Structure 1
């Protein structure tokens, strides 16, 4: 990569505010009289006891269960006169004696487990037993009920129902909300959240000049109607669906699934209700009115890795594909770690190994093989569908097909009775034991075959049943996470017993029920959230709030969040005018250091060598960058993008020096700096006006007086440097493939490019506040 020209550049290194690990429970027992099993007791038992006394029968010690009421109230196996727990009587409860004894042979957890109960936890368990030791189903398996809107002290603050639930929790912690963000910051936040792009100057000027009461709602509606809205929503779903442009494993050959990505963007832009979005992806090949579009949607289930290496055992890899579909289903739609039950009963959640393979059975009737064709096969692995030019002109008109070449994608198909699904001993493909039929864990909701057909369509209908406790909660939590950086349940992929408890269960249940009762309308859900006073708060961090709530769990301020990896690129391209904003189409290969693919290649196939694209393809949005699973785009990985190996519902958010080095040296950032400087030089106005406009395009607000003075001084310093080093100026301006503009004053142009580059390297450039 080109390096930054030697000079006196000042910059603020990227320093994203990173919130650390979360509190497992927001409602501690010392905040109230009554001890709650789900919020106070079960987290202790799950962390310290369930490994040996939980759902996994193979690991259970002393035939004692603490995860069920029956087990906890039972007599001890070796002394029928003693009981594990006697409700109301801790001194008569064997559990209490074992956690308070000083005898190293009797104490629980045993010393060799490297687990220990704190004095506070012991006191909490004692208090719970005194109060009757009431067991409850896990909170996530209890169907949500619409909570009453709470009374709040700051009654004039809420803008909609969401704010009452947030404010009630805030006030219970002695917190009060921030004031509303200024219009410039709010517009930038909104534009990136709804489109993944910065607001252009026209939108900024229009919104800032609109003093009408409905100005904010008008800009919300405008951004929701943008075709880029579908791209922003799709970006998260591509992580969930483990979308990539190659098959994975060692050979990692070419895969064509981008038409499915085009469908996802189309589905969000068309505001397909979530029940339809879910059903088509799980079972679009089975619905009564199926079409080529519904069939294409089922590509969701075929985005898993596929081997193309000779000598593999066919059945072993076929089992891997079904396993991937099962695990992805559990995490994507139910927010549960089904994968933990593949080899044994789940150690924490009520998902047995039998349950796992009963779920597996829904995805096990696909007529597929572990290995099909060769690494450079010109067809998609069956089952597949061909997309013709007639399709693109008709029912699939949302697909951005740019040539007449044959186009095939992998989809789903069931062949009833093609095989029996059997439990695999320890998860081994060739250790088949008992036969099972499609079913779901009873603890979540019974799967009544009189109501739900025993196939993927029945599974989708089961997911959408009114009494289903997870489907709506999981999805609204993910949308909340996308907007606030953290879900109401922080562990958005684990609503099970080892996951974090919801920080505001009434809010989560309100959102889930309201979402379902209003037609699973995704745009309506998002509009509700961004219209709330909660969302519109300033991101300023008063010291008092930082001390009381360092992770901003109670949302007494807006979060400061670095943009997703793809949107960092989008900001640079859009603000400079380089962005090719075509929607959909094949993935592209942009600037990348030499030799990265080659060093990780098996030496076979057309993806052995990295062949960069050119012209307008170089400037496509970040979501369209070609993802080779074994060697994902390095810049994207530095900013915490998914490598798409498996379903991922929450990205990490790190802060490393490598990110600052990318912003300093990445060819696209340098090229964008040059191109924007050239454009500004071609416009009327003095150098001050050009600097101010560059700042407004990138930071999305006017510069303050002090900021502007620093940038003016920086321009003068760089002008002097480049006047003394004309060769350095010429070299600096040779960045990137975009054609250079003719500018006579090369010294001033290079200095302005350096100023623009500095603005891109400000923390605020890639952070929404």
Structure 2
């Protein structure tokens, strides 16, 4: 008995061990299957199939987002037969055997093998604990998740070099790359070329002759840095660098399209940008004020003006489809915000998930949801508080004195205004018309937005009524009597104060945001590749707005956001070197260029955020570097061109043509006519103000600026083309305006006589004035020969001045 008990104990132990091993093996197999499904199958289905066969759409009656749905199948039959890949229609479809899924592009052979392996193993479908937000990330590939632009900014280790050429960390990074390709940098440019480059880059204007002479005499490091500081402190710096930002936000002072109506007060935004750069407003604050200045600082006039960023869209007065027009406006704001602040082209994700970048269609409308409550307003009075008070007091006196006569005029106009308004409302689509007849209090938030667009058109038509022609006989006599009586009080009426185009929200309760052409509601959120969860909106109790734009502004300027600071320092670099470290400054996506110096880009980005988002700090880093100060000539030029033809590695300075505004401003400065007054209302092109102050009418671009690749102010322009055309040469030779500048220059500099000494002095002064360098002996000889021809000295001098203004040296920096 004792023996039998021992035997059974031994057998039981063996059985227990076998069962335990079987359980552990099954558990290991289950764990491997879960891992395989979560890493290979669920992302594959999400990426390629959910869009047409998920919870939103079920083409051909098929869903693929659960095993039950796959086994049930669709119109063609059972999609998956567990354990039997040969009988599973899903596998036949991805092999393009009768059916073809996905229809646009066949899966890779590896992906098809993964599906077959999964079905063969019984098609296990583990329960997912992922949140809906986390499920979004399943639609991204590993390469998309690991893409450089979405990785946190890393403060890199600065390379160590004892080269005397090195001035700061920028040079260390550049030199490391050059050495890796057996290249050496160019020496520092000669003083006159460096000074001219510095002045044009920072101010858009040439240095004075005295400044050139002084710097040639003392090109020391201390003198150079003092010039950098003085230029960064000059008003011309703000005017120059604001121009780049205005290109990005497609700034204009008119509506565009057919009517192209003038936008009174829009210029205050331009002045805001100039002052922001001039005063080195922290870049994070600069962004926040433009997106949500009205929410963040409702009593701050400058912050209110900043929201003019959200008013640069195009508006068509002849477009009656208010719903479509409002959608176009929101799309435009969404696109420009993605381009400008994030360097990500969002527009491709408006109709579908982006084909290359990890930007989902949901992401596009999650971003747009931050702007969906917008309501344009023109109600902020741009004047000091005491002036506003004085205006309101005078207006009250006028209103009281004219109360009776204005009431009679209103009564005469009321019937016609009402019938005209109703007639105009009847021209709008049937789905818009009903709420136009509602009172403002009865309209939903979305209806208020559409009514705003409609009333722009209706009010414009009502103001065109010619009342003196409308009334007849006794009514006309009464109208003339009343208007004459009202005019008697004009001396009491104060001049109207200017209102500004700004923005608010339609109220504290936002309209709903739906994915285009669907009934799928989305909440505000950022790019899912960075954070797939909905953004937490903190709304101030009693505030008239939603707080959504404040939340967006805080996310964009969060130091953990890997895009914002990289994008901005890259833009600054671009305007110094002709091309950014990322050559596609508004496309940091997969189809964009890769950074040529990724560590340098992250170094500059971290320098921006760690130095209180100071733009001028980045300017100084770049301008103090030997990389910026290089000559355009490098002794190893032939070898370097063979290795790096496009100068991506920065072995020399790039020769650059002046841009359109620099050309026009330089012509005025050369002729002595440039009015350097800063800020203020726009002027006509005939005025000698800097180009940034010219009136910007979208349908009437300036001929000279457009000839030299100026912007159309319709689309965001991150970089301008630099063309060389026969038309440009013909323009500078024959354009009346340019010839006038040459003649004015000649009148200011003409020598008193044709004696060799007098001509030498005049020609020397002219070359120093126009080219920022001393004249050469060969140039003096050529000038003498030209100026002493058998015609008048005045005529020859005018032609000589014109020729120099048309020269490459005047138009180019090296």
2:813 alignment counterpart: 768
- The CA distance in 1 between the partners of 2:624 and 2:709, in whole Å, is 29
Q: Deviation of residue 58 (structure 1)?
A: 6.0
Distance change (3 Å), C-alpha of 1:531 and 1:405: farther
Q: Deviation of residue 143 (structure 1)?
A: 1.1
Residues 233-273 of structure 1 show CA distances to partners (whole Å, capped at 9, x for unaligned) of 10001101111121101111111311111111111111111
Is the aligned partner of 1:292 residue 2:301?
yes
Unaligned stretches of 5+ in structure 1?
1-49, 64-76, 84-93, 117-132, 369-381, 395-402, 426-430, 591-612, 724-746
1:198 alignment counterpart: 206
1:331 to 332, 339, 360: 339
Distance change (3 Å), C-alpha of 1:213 and 1:480: closer
| Equivalent residues of 1:452, 1:461 under 8 A apart | no
- The CA distance in 1 between the partners of 2:331 and 2:560, in whole Å, is 27
Q: Which moved more, 1:747-756 or 1:659-668?
A: 659-668
- The CA distance in 1 between the partners of 2:53 and 2:662, in whole Å, is 46
Instruction: Tell me: higher relative CO, structure 1 or 2? Use CA pairs within 8 A at least 6 residues apart.
Output: 1
Q: Deviation of residue 54 (structure 1)?
A: 7.3
| Equivalent residues of 2:255, 2:316 under 8 A apart | yes
What TM-score do you get using the length of structure 2 for normalisation? 0.67
1:544 alignment counterpart: 639
Q: Deviation of residue 546 (structure 1)?
A: 2.3
1:367 to 361, 375, 378: 375
Is the aligned partner of 1:358 residue 2:366?
yes
1:527 alignment counterpart: 620
Is the aligned partner of 1:175 residue 2:163?
no
1:499 alignment counterpart: 592
Is the aligned partner of 1:553 residue 2:648?
yes
- The CA distance in 2 between the partners of 1:552 and 1:80, in whole Å, is 58
| Equivalent residues of 1:691, 1:752 under 8 A apart | no
1:743 alignment counterpart: none
Q: Deviation of residue 55 (structure 1)?
A: 10
2:513 alignment counterpart: 422
Distance change (3 Å), C-alpha of 1:356 and 1:711: same
Distance change (3 Å), C-alpha of 1:451 and 1:407: closer
Q: 4+ residue runs of structure 1 moved beyond 6 angstroms?
A: 52-56, 77-83, 391-394, 682-685
Q: Deviation of residue 760 (structure 1)?
A: 1.1
1:572 alignment counterpart: 667
Q: What is the correspondence of 1:353-752 to structure 2 with a 5 Å cutoff?
A: 353-368=361-376, 382-388=377-383, 406-417=497-508, 419-425=510-516, 431=517, 433-445=519-531, 449-450=535-536, 455-540=548-633, 542-590=637-685, 613=686, 618-681=687-750, 686-716=758-788, 719-720=789-790, 723=791, 747-752=792-797
- The CA distance in 1 between the partners of 2:287 and 2:576, in whole Å, is 21
| Equivalent residues of 2:370, 2:549 under 8 A apart | yes
Residues 158-185 of structure 1 show CA distances to partners (whole Å, capped at 9, x for unaligned) of 1011111111111112211000000000
Q: Deviation of residue 766 (structure 1)?
A: 1.1
Q: Deviation of residue 296 (structure 1)?
A: 0.5
| Equivalent residues of 1:422, 1:433 under 8 A apart | no
Choose between structure 1 and 2: higher helix proportion.
2
Q: Deviation of residue 405 (structure 1)?
A: 6.0
Is the aligned partner of 1:278 residue 2:287?
yes
| Equivalent residues of 2:363, 2:525 under 8 A apart | yes
| Equivalent residues of 1:56, 1:352 under 8 A apart | no
Q: Deviation of residue 704 (structure 1)?
A: 2.1
Q: Secondary structure at the match of 1:557?
A: coil
Unaligned stretches of 5+ in structure 2?
1-43, 60-78, 86-90, 109-141, 390-493, 540-546
Distance change (3 Å), C-alpha of 1:79 and 1:205: farther
Q: Which moved more, 1:696-705 or 1:478-487?
A: 696-705
- The CA distance in 1 between the partners of 2:780 and 2:693, in whole Å, is 35
2:231 alignment counterpart: 223
- The CA distance in 2 between the partners of 1:55 and 1:703, in whole Å, is 71
- The CA distance in 1 between the partners of 2:787 and 2:242, in whole Å, is 40
Q: Kindly name which structure, 1 or 2, has the bigger radius of gyration based on alpha carbons.
A: 2
Q: Deviation of residue 289 (structure 1)?
A: 6.2
- The CA distance in 2 between the partners of 1:449 and 1:318, in whole Å, is 24
1:304 alignment counterpart: 313
Q: Deviation of residue 450 (structure 1)?
A: 4.5
| Equivalent residues of 2:191, 2:219 under 8 A apart | no
- The CA distance in 2 between the partners of 1:519 and 1:335, in whole Å, is 21
| Equivalent residues of 2:701, 2:712 under 8 A apart | yes
What TM-score do you get using the length of structure 1 for normalisation? 0.71
CA RMSD for the aligned pairs?
Answer: 3.6
Distance change (3 Å), C-alpha of 1:238 and 1:415: same
